[in-house]
């Protein structure tokens, strides 16, 4: 080997500055990707919680029709959870509520920072004897109807809303706040028709 070949071989490597630049760029790209991932993960948690509530509402409607009894979903705002109960009449005409826990439903607890942000429930006509104690629950009736309800689930940034129709008892989900959702019922006094 000649001296000229050795000096060309020494110049073929990366300098410390080039290596540092590559490491800094890789760290910058990773931090941006991590920020995007965390935001997407939080949105996914909110959406999954809203879908779980939607499926519970659909199952409550089916259960009320099949068993010919009242079925209720009771959201617990402070705990960020909800439970479904079935009202059953005993032999002595006493009414008892039994929590539903089977293959299709179990009591749910929201994960992360997800919570009930807004709950608007309008009881159906003649649906409840004492509204003060049953204000925070959705009742599904054996004829397929339900209380009119708009439930907003979110984490402060991401919002999904589940709407239960009073007429049909059907539930649907949409992205956004409860203020963006229109109710199925129309007050004819305010409508100016």
CATH number, domain at 76? 3.55.40.10
User: Tell me, what's the pLDDT at 27?
Assistant: 86
The pTM of the full predicted model, rounded to 2 decimals, is 0.74
Low-confidence ranges of the chain (pLDDT < 70): 1-13, 90-92, 125-135, 182-193
Query: Is 3 a domain residue?
Result: no
The confidence score (pLDDT) of residue 7 equals 57
Q: What is the extent of the structural domain holding 156?
A: 16-191
103-109: long-range pairs with CB below 8 Å, 24+:
104/59, 105/56, 105/59, 107/81, 107/82, 107/83, 108/49, 108/52, 108/53, 108/56, 108/81, 108/82, 108/83, 109/79, 109/80, 109/81
The verdict on residue 10 lying in a domain is: no
- Does the residue 2 lie in any domain? no
The predicted structure's pLDDT at residue 95: 75
What span, in angstroms and rounded, lies between the C-alpha atoms of 36 and 56?
30
The pLDDT of residue 130:
47
| DSSP-H helix ranges across the chain | 3-10, 16-67, 188-191
Q: How far apart are CA 137 and CA 79, in angstroms?
A: 15
Confidence at residue 81, expressed as pLDDT on a 0 to 100 scale: 92
What is the number of structural domains in the chain? 1
């Amino acid at each position: 080997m000649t001296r000229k070949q050795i000096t060309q071989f020494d110049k073929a490597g990366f300098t410390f500055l080039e290596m540092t630049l590559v490491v800094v760029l890789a760290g910058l790209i990773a931090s941006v990707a991590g920020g995007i991932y965390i935001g997407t993960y939080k949105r996914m948690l909110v959406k999954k919680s809203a879908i779980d509530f939607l499926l519970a509402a659909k199952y409550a409607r089916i259960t009320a029709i099949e068993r010919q009894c009242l079925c209720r979903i009771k959201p617990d705002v402070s705990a960020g959870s909800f439970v479904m109960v079935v009202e059953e009449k005993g032999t002595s005409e006493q009414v008892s509520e039994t929590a539903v826990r089977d293959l299709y439903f179990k009591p749910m607890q929201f994960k992360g920072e997800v919570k009930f942000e807004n709950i608007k429930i309008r009881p159906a006509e003649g649906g409840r004897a004492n509204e003060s104690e049953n204000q925070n629950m959705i009742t599904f009736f054996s004829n397929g109807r339900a209380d009119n309800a708009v439930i907003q689930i979110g984490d402060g940034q991401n919002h999904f809303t589940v709407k239960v129709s009073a007429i049909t008892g059907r539930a649907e989900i949409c992205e956004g706040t409860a203020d963006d959702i229109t109710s199925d019922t129309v007050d004819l006094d305010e409508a100016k028709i």
